């Protein structure tokens, strides 16, 4: 069966770390910059952002998704409900199938292949494929200043408008060690020997896969480039007319499992054949995508990953959990494994409210509102809350104990559906004022006892409401 | 007609502050001794029939699992009936109200109402800052105490043009009064400039817009009005009281320019006492932050909505102003040992109505003083008590 690409979306953290700042800490040079996660971002929040954009571009409702395939080298739980948390935060149906692919930076290609196969086999009519990553290199390792973060998502379907279709696939498996971390290790280890990696591991197998795809009339390529040079070598080998991945690497660094698909979706902004090659963990896979017209969302890739605020090396280390304060931090009043999180799982991750059948007022969250806050009525129906609103009033908290980081803006919002919410806002608060429009995005509120606690935060929009 | 079924015949407190050297029990005993010693015609501790104790955060600050039983032992009266009232920042005010109802019911003739709070036995981070990690994991995450009131300041400034100078004038006035109150935590005067230049705590509130964390205790003795002459010839009566509740979370509020529960509780208290805001000679109100006092004086009906900032800046609430507010120094200068706060405010009203407030004494032409607290997450509860020295209404 034909596998269509209905829409794509990309995401990357706003923070940028300069390679020169990393190099300076270790007595080295460095050029370029990479995207690094803020303390409230990780592979799951990046995946959510890319998927949210892909669904919007495709014009597909979350309830239509039959299967989710998510590839990341670093799911938020080493073992746990990573897939289920992401599915709930995207408001996917409880019946959603699919898989979490992990274990190496090849995971993004595995998700794409699995999603394609699910559609081909007829086990899913609409599949959401997401690749996201946030590499966590060991401080001082040679690849540290190259390690970035980002996410790409594709909506695949058996029906729909003709935009692009997924074609031939080539794959190779070789039992070689490349970049890795052992069981229980949190930081990626460096390559044992850069020349050994280049000459005996990376180039022979990736070149083999790429040259198979080069037999076709490929318009644009997404090629792996872990060290900032190998991508150019491959592009020369296959005589690539356009290498969209080099732009992605230049903007955000090596986005690990997301890198191949990010380069791939960026290339879908025009008609023609696109070759996507990803590698990691001893596996390399290449896929052809035939775009008959530009794919919705593809042209937004560059904007979606464009950078913002520069981060110091110390800030990046703190955000990655590699620089920690001494002493106890304030634990959550409600442990994240406890009953409240079981009761509130759907309403927190899916952002639900209770709409009063009698007066229409929305009370939220539903689990603590058996009665309406306006009329006291007992009949409330669950509704998905609006994701856009404006600031009614706000504060910027400057006095925060660890694990909080000040400044922390907190906003009271009048949402477009009439609900009122109070949430944390993204940024330092300097761009917040009464009337400012915001969009809600998924972020991490806490990380305690190994459990990431996700919820929505307010992202101020640039313009001021009239 | 004022209610006047219950009289306050004794009141006292201990010097507020960071009382690292005193236990919870020692603070309670100090406040009780002060109240006993204040009774004009003498008072024996064993005359107490029952006690109501207000402690708001015992579970956090070293009194885990506290019930009503700690206080009788601490004051040498083990065995008496004693009940703990926990009702957020108005805990002390509400203990007074419940104690008065216990006396008026005829069940007890003499009741001790005592508020005790240990705020400084654990670190600041484990104390007030721990609020930031308490409550709902998303909707209250990062909600330290100033977050509960700063959004009102932002909105009040936006709608009414209230300025930081107006906010600061509240802190300046209350520190001025506190410098004349020997029981106040802070005994120093400050300037508007001091407030403006103090570090930002939670925009738009700065350090001197905020009350301190204070240990303290206060106690009052209530008796059936029919027996008041056994204890004093200068009685002060509970003229009326009111309580009101609202939704607890900030995102459930209708308005960020008023504390609705303050308006509702005061209307109930005024009705019970048979008076209006214009009859009040002086008031002890909940000024945990400067903006809170500006909201209070509007919501209690002393000033029009939106006019509280101007009134504060122009001295309408000073010791010689139209309606003196927080003559004791308020929470900003006297301190805010939560359970003790309301009881200490009643003590100040008692002194004012008896003409015993020293340098802080104001003119009590009508013979009414008002006491108010609000709190409970996003101001979900308020209590207003009105006291009077008038006997013609009983």
pLDDT single digits (tens) B324-353: 999 999 999 999 999 999 999 999 999 999
- A190 and A293: one domain? yes
- A276 and A420: one domain? no
- A172 and A76: one domain? yes
H/E stretch holding B294 reads helix B290-299
Q: Tell me if residue B211 is catalytic.
A: no
> Could you give the number of structural domains in chain A?
3
Domain end position, chosen among A319, A346, A369: A319
Q: Is A325 part of any domain?
A: no
Q: Tell me if residue B203 is catalytic.
A: no
Has residue A43 got a pLDDT over 70? yes
* CATH no. of B6-123+211-388: 3.40.47.10
A98: β partners: A68
The ranges assigned to domains in chain B are 6-123+211-388
- A230 and A356: one domain? no
Residues of B in contact with A408 (CB under 8 A): 142
* pLDDT score at A44: 98
Mean of pLDDT values over A390-414: 93
Residue A466 — pLDDT band, cuts 50, 70, 90? very low
Q: Is A279 part of any domain?
A: yes
- A275 and A404: one domain? no
Has residue A34 got a pLDDT over 80? yes
H/E stretch holding A222 reads strand A218-222
- A305 and A431: one domain? no
Residue B131 — pLDDT band, cuts 50, 70, 90? confident
- A119 and A227: one domain? yes
CB A70 within 8 A of CB A130: yes
Which structural domain, as residue segments, surrounds residue A432? 386-466
CA distance A34 to A313: 11
Size of interface A-B (CB pairs under 8 A): 121
Nearest chain A residue to B247, by CA:
A373
> Can you list the pairs that B123-129 forms with residues at least 24 positions away whose Cβ atoms lie under 8 Å?
B124/B213, B125/A330, B125/A401, B126/A330, B126/B60, B127/B60, B127/B61, B127/B213, B128/B213, B129/A330, B129/A399, B129/A400, B129/A401
What is the pLDDT of chain B when averaged over all its residues? 95
What is the pLDDT of chain A when averaged over all its residues? 94
Nearest to B96 by CA among B331, B328, B384: B384
Residue with tokens 């001091």: B194
Residue with tokens 């809600």: A440
Phi, psi (deg, nearest 5) at residue A274: -120, 135
Instruction: From residue A380, give the alpha-carbon distance in Å to each of A115, A356, B27, B130, B235.
Output: 38, 4, 48, 33, 53
- A243 and A101: one domain? yes
CB A241 within 8 A of CB A216: no
Has residue A232 got a pLDDT over 60? yes
* pLDDT score at A326: 82
Has residue B278 got a pLDDT over 50? yes
Has residue A192 got a pLDDT over 90? no
Residues of A in contact with B161 (CB under 8 A): none
Instruction: From residue A138, give the alpha-carbon distance in Å to each of A38, A184, A189, B28.
Output: 18, 14, 6, 56
In this structure, what token pair is assigned to residue B95?
């203990």
In this structure, what token pair is assigned to residue A426?
């993204």
* pLDDT score at B66: 76
CA distance B321 to B115: 30
Angle at B85 between CA B47 and CA B62, to 5 degrees: 100
| B245 CB within 8 Å of a chain A CB | no
- A126 and A187: one domain? yes
- A263 and A394: one domain? no
Mean of pLDDT values over A219-224: 98
Q: Do A410 and B147 touch (CB under 8 A)?
A: yes
Residues of B in contact with A410 (CB under 8 A): 142-143, 147, 151
- A305 and A346: one domain? no
- A311 and A350: one domain? no
Nearest chain A residue to B134, by CA:
A333
């Amino acid at each position: 069966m034909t596998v269509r690409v209905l829409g794509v979306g990309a995401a990357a953290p706003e923070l940028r770390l300069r390679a020169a700042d990393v190099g300076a800490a270790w007595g080295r040079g460095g050029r370029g910059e990479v995207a690094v996660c803020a303390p409230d971002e990780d592979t799951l929040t990046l995946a959510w952002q890319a998927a949210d954009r892909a669904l919007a571009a495709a014009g597909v409702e979350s309830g239509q998704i039959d299967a989710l395939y998510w590839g990341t080298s670093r799911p938020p739980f080493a073992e746990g409900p990573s897939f289920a948390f992401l599915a709930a935060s995207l408001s996917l149906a409880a019946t959603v199938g699919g898989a979490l692919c992990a274990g190496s930076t090849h995971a993004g290609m595995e998700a794409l292949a699995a999603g394609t196969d699910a559609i081909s086999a007829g086990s899913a009519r609409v599949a959401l494929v997401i690749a996201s990553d946030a590499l966590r290199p060991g401080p001082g390792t040679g690849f540290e200043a190259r390690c970035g973060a980002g996410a790409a998502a594709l909506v695949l379907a058996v029906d729909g408008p003709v935009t692009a279709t997924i074609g031939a696939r080539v794959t190779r498996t070789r039992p070689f060690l490349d970049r890795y971390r052992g069981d229980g290790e949190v930081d990626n280890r460096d390559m044992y020997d850069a020349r050994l990696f280049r000459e005996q591991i990376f180039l022979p197998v990736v070149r083999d896969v790429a040259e198979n795809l080069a037999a076709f009339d490929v318009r644009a390529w997404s090629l792996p480039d872990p060290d900032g040079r190998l991508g150019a070598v491959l592009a020369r080998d296959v005589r690539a007319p356009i290498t969209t991945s080099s732009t992605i690497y230049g903007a955000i660094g090596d986005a690990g499992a997301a890198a191949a698909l990010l380069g791939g979706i960026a290339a879908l902004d025009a008609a023609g054949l696109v070759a996507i090659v990803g590698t990691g963990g001893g596996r390399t896979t290449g896929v052809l995508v035939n775009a008959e017209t530009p794919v919705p969302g593809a042209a937004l890739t560059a904007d979606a990953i464009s950078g913002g605020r520069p981060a110091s090396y110390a800030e990046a280390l703190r955000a990655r959990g590699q620089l920690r304060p001494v002493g106890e931090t304030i634990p959550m009043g409600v442990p994240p494994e406890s009953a409240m999180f079981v009761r509130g799982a759907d309403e927190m991750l899916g952002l639900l409210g209770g709409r009063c059948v009698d007066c229409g007022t929305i009370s939220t969250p539903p689990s603590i509102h058996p009665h309406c806050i306006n009329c006291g009525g007992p009949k409330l129906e669950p509704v998905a809350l609006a994701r856009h609103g404006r600031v009614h009033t706000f504060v910027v908290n400057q006095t925060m104990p660890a694990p909080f980081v000040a400044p922390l803006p907190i906003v009271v919002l009048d949402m477009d559906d009439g609900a009122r919410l109070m949430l944390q806002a993204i940024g330092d608060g300097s761009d917040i004022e009464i009337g400012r429009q915001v969009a809600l995005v998924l972020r991490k509120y806490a990380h305690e006892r190994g459990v990431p606690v996700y919820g929505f935060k307010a992202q101020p929009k640039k313009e001021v409401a009239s | 007609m004022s209610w006047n079924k219950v009289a306050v015949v004794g009141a006292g407190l201990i010097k507020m502050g960071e009382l690292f050297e005193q236990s919870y029990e020692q603070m309670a005993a100090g406040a009780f001794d002060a109240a006993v010693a204040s009774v004009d015609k003498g008072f024996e501790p064993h005359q107490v029939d029952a006690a109501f104790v207000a402690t708001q955060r015992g579970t956090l600050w070293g009194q885990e699992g506290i019930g009503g039983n700690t206080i009788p032992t601490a004051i040498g009266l083990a065995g008496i009936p004693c009940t703990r009232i926990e009702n957020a920042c108005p805990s002390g005010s509400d203990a007074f109200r419940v104690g008065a109802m216990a006396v008026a019911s005829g069940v007890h003739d003499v009741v001790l109402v005592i508020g005790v709070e240990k705020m400084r036995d654990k670190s600041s981070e484990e104390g007030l800052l721990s609020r930031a990690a308490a409550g709902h994991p998303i909707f209250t995450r990062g909600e330290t105490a100033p977050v509960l009131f700063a959004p009102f300041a932002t909105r009040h400034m936006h709608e009414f043009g209230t300025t930081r100078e107006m906010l600061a004038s509240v802190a300046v006035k209350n520190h001025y009064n506190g410098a004349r109150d020997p029981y106040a935590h802070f005994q120093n005067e400050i300037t508007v400039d001091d407030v403006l230049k103090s570090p930002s705590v939670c925009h738009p509130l700065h350090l001197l817009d905020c009350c301190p964390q204070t240990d303290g205790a206060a106690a009052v003795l209530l008796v059936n009005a029919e027996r008041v002459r056994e204890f004093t010839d200068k009685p002060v009566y509970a003229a009326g009281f009111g309580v009101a509740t609202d939704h607890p979370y900030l995102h459930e509020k209708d308005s960020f320019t008023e504390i609705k529960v303050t308006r509702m509780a005061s209307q109930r208290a005024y009705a019970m006492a048979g008076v209006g805001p214009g009859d009040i000679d002086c008031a002890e109100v909940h000024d945990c932050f400067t903006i809170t006092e500006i909201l209070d004086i509007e919501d209690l009906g002393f000033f029009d909505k939106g006019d509280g900032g101007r009134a504060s800046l122009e001295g309408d609430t000073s010791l010689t102003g139209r309606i003196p507010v927080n003559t004791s120094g308020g929470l900003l200068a006297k301190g805010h040992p939560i359970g003790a706060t309301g009881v200490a405010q009643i003590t100040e009203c008692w002194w004012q109505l008896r003409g015993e407030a020293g340098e802080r004494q104001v003119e009590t032409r009508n013979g009414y003083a008002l006491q108010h607290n609000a709190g409970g997450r996003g101001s979900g509860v308020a209590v207003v008590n009105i006291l009077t020295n008038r006997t013609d209404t009983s």
